[in-house]
Amino acid sequence: MRNTRRVLGAEARETLASLEQHLIKTFQHWITAAAEKGEARADLPPYLLATYLDIQVSGALTQLGQGQSRIMVKQCLMMALSVISLDPLGGDPTMAE
> What is the tens place of the pLDDT at every residue in 4-46?
667 888 998 899 899 999 999 999 999 999 999 999 999 999 9
In angstroms, the CA 41 to CA 21 distance is 21
Expressed in percent and rounded to 5, the helix, strand and coil fractions of the chain are 65, 0, 30
> Model confidence over 56-96: pLDDT tens digits?
999 999 999 999 999 999 999 999 888 888 775 565 555 44
- On whether the CB atoms of residues 49 and 41 are closer than 8 A, the answer is yes
- Give the per-residue pLDDT at 7: 82
In angstroms, the CA 93 to CA 95 distance is 6
Q: What is the pTM of this model?
A: 0.77
